Amino acid sequence: MDFTEPENWGRIRREAEAFVAEHVTEDMIVDELASGDGVNRPLMNALAERGWITPTWPKEEGGAGLDAFEAGVVADTIRQAGGTTLGPGTTLLPANAIRAMGSPELKAAILPGVAAGETLICLGYTEPEGGSDVFACKTKAVRDGDEWVVNGQKMFTTFAHLADYCFLLTRSDPTSHGPHGITMLLVPMDSPGIEHQAVRTMGYERTNIVFYNDVRVSDFYRIGEADQGLHVMRAALEAEQNIAPASRTAMLARAAAAWAEQTLGPDGAPMITDPLVRERLARLAIDAEVTELLGLRVAFLDELGAKPGPHAALFGPETYVKWSAEIIDMVGPEAMAGWNDPEAVSGGAFEWHFRSAVASTIYGGSSEVLRSLIAEQRLGLPRSRPRSEKASASPVR
């Protein structure tokens, strides 16, 4: 098997590296660490100028006309440099759903703003009692003429305090259960009756509890048929599982190798010369490479129009959790100093990875749910849970 990188990947990576050198600044990285917002509007504007907010869309729609592999190279290069891709990456999930299933009028109103980096869309899935089971939805949407009246509460709605719209999962049929009787609405976040409260996570992220109190939403903002939102939601969930594998395991591997090369052991020799350290780094590098290859598999199948399944979304975060703890053990207690400690080892990278890794296991669905999906959909094993509880989504997106 030939793993040689195609020439076009190298070209787009060089373009992306030049981009981050100009636009991803140290102040921007520190601001994101401090705020945890996951959004930087100037960076989004710069990305939009190149069509990189919607990189796989055709140029006439504001995209860059890239294939899935090239788009992945761009996103990976920006993440490796410390730039946040959460805002535009999350926005793209509902934007693609609108592009596929929204009305012509809704597409015309929303999609140009997305491509231009002006429109930010958060995800309103998870509820306090539902956890990873998004189809335990209790947020109600009641039809009132040409409007919907929404009442309910959502948890872990990342960047809701900055978003222009929320891609909101609602229960429109009060007699329904599970994935039936739901309607997807694109709710303007400046609507009267919306309140959000900050929630800080252990991974330095700022997410939100969002309350909807008699929020009136025009039927113009409905995506797909009323009471038939399952297809819209399922497409968004599968897309989220496809991007969730962008784990930080490779970043961790590079930071750990740099520490081992630059740090002297008790005998005065670099830690990289210690056989036990080398073995750990080698095993970490192997898992990081597997994670990257699974990500390429996602892009390959996506280009073929096939469904990749959640394999990469499971392996990447689980590996990230394992190795973030292993590296803390290898480096020792001093690795627990955070990024805001001026004397922190490797700029606090190891503590940051250790915190971030835990939250990554619920992006695109909890590990338990993803294992169930693989067993049921790929191996044909019996369902491990009732049908209404089968699907899941990320509570922190």
Instruction: Tell me which of 2-6, 195-199, 267-271, 355-359 is least confident.
Output: 2-6
Whole-angstrom distance, CA of residue 257 vs CA of residue 330? 12
pLDDT at 340: 87
**In the chain, what is the greatest distance between 2 CA atoms, to the nearest angstrom?**
78
User: Radius of gyration over alpha carbons of the chain, in Å?
Assistant: 21
- Digit-coded pLDDT (tens) for 125-158: 989 887 667 888 999 999 999 999 999 999 999 9
Which CATH topology does 7-84 take?
A: Butyryl-Coa Dehydrogenase, subunit A; domain 1 (1.10.540)
Locate CATH 2.40.110.10 in the chain: 121-228
pLDDT, average across residues 17-31 = 95
Range(s) within the chain of domains with CATH label 1.20.140.10: 245-362
pLDDT exceeds 70 at position 379? yes
Distance between CA 304 and CA 354 in Å, rounded? 36
Q: Answer whether residue 397 shows pLDDT above 60.
A: no
- Give mean pLDDT, residues 389-397: 41
Kindly report the backbone phi and psi dihedral angles of residue 294, in degrees, each rounded to the nearest multiple of 5, phi listed first.
-65, -35
Please write down the HEC assignment for all residues of the chain. Answer: CCCCCCHHHHHHHHHHHHHHHHHCCHHHHHHHHHHCCCCCHHHHHHHHHCCCCCCCCCHHHCCCCCCHHHHHHHHHHHHHCCCCCHHHHHHHHHHHHHHHHCCHHHHHHHHHHHHCCCCCEEEECCCCCCCCCHHHCCCEEEEECCEEEEEEEECCCCCCCCCCEEEEEEECCCCCCCCCCEEEEEEECCCCCEEEEEEECCCCCEEEEEEEEEEEEEHHHEECCCCECHHHHHHHHHHHHHHCCCCCHHHHHHHHHHHHHHCECCCCCEHHHCHHHHHHHHHHHHHHHHHHHHHHHHHHHHHHCCCCCCHHHHHHHHHHHHHHHHHHHHHCHHHHCCCCCCCCHHHHHHHHHHHHHHHHCCCCCCHHHHHHHHHHHHCCCCCCCCHHHCCCCCCCC
Q: Name the band, by pLDDT with cuts 50, 70 and 90, for residue 386.
A: low
Length of the chain measured in residues: 397
Specify the pLDDT at position 385.
61
Given a cut of 50, whether residue 374 has pLDDT beyond it is yes
Give the orientation angle of helix 311-331 with respect to helix 349-360, to 10 degrees: 150
pLDDT of amino acid 394: 42
| Tens-digit pLDDT profile for residues 72-127 | 899 989 988 989 989 999 999 999 999 999 999 999 999 999 999 999 999 999 89
Domain 245-362 has CATH 1.20.140.10: yes
pLDDT of residue 188: 98
pLDDT-derived band of residue 388, with 50, 70 and 90 as boundaries? very low
Q: Residue for token digits 């976040």?
A: 189
CA quadruple 244, 248, 249, 254: dihedral, nearest 10: 160
| Predicted pLDDT at 247 | 64
C-alpha to C-alpha distance for 179 and 161, rounded to whole angstroms: 28
Domain covering 121-228 in this structure, CATH number: 2.40.110.10
Find the range with the poorest average confidence among 124-133, 152-161, 235-244, 311-320: 235-244
Q: What is the pTM of this model?
A: 0.87
